[in-house]
Amino acid sequence: MTAAIFPPRFDSMKPKIIVTGANGQVGQCLQMATRDRSEYEWIFCSSTDLDITLEQSITDAFSGNAPAVVINLAAYTAVDKAEDEAEKAFLINSHGVKLLAKACKKADATLIQVSTDYVFDGKKTTPYLETDPTDPLTIYGQSKLGGELEILQYCPNSVIIRTSWVYSEFGNNFVKTMLKLGSERESLAVVTDQIGNPTSAHDLAQILVTFAKKAVEKTVDFGMYHYSNTGGISWFDFAAEIMAQASLPCLILPTTSDVYVQKAPRPRYSVLDTTKVEAIGVEIKEWKTALAQTIKTLS
């Protein structure tokens, strides 16, 4: 990872793109996706390099680098834990985003924010559009929605990308958990009544590169977008396919959310409609195809 460098670097006249939260799984995938993108100067910042909850930290980063684009991947993502740590979740996902949005507005930089399907309540039975009403069920979802609203208020020149069920070979995620448990157990019970879209963090990273490029070239249409791999499935379907692709004999058994109770309720249906992002020329992989690439990496 290229560490954040403050004060300014006078050796580069390339457009600068600051990435916050660069140590997370999407951030690590984005670093891989930009290794050959030398037309820009990508500045990857961990929370130590750039703490979005501290105004001075943002000021130091911006004054040292004058970004054309900021991609915010810094987030509190512990969905169940957030129910007991609401203050921390809102500090990072709402307040920190507000500080970043205000700084981007002042610097005339485009802000690209990653949000979540958890802003919806899951009561629909057809894919969610960007314009559908939000009604999050959890503290996590509320804090992420708060961040969206702060951006819309303070930095209209922005792109918000809602995504879902993100996984990769990095960090903690459902795919890695299933592979671990599948190699240790003969069977696992997984819910059938939560429906959504798995999303490869590598594919999401490529979309972020696309929007960053459009922002630098001033051809981006600002606003809200939904992105995930195609195919609305249950966690049960996802787990069964993981075992099949990894050639693990672990049997996946069906259960329901009433039996497998989690502290934070999940939306029962949160499939995202990706028509809008596809209209700008983005090609989206089918979920099984995307999964196969990660399984291959982890095998």
As annotated, the active-site residues are 140
Phi-psi region of 162 (alpha: psi -120 to 50; beta: other; left: phi over 0): beta
Give the residue among 176, 174, 164 at the shortest CA–CA distance from 284.
164
Structure tokens at 199: 């999303």
Apex CA 27: angle with CA 291 and CA 199, to 5°?
25
Provide the b/e sequence for 109-122 (b: ≥16 CB within 10 Å).
bbbbbbbbbbbbbb
Between CA 54 and CA 62 the distance in angstroms is: 13
Q: Shortest CA distance to 102 belongs to which of 48, 62, 130?
A: 62
Closest CA to 109 of 148, 58, 143: 58
150 vs 166: CA distance, rounded Å: 23
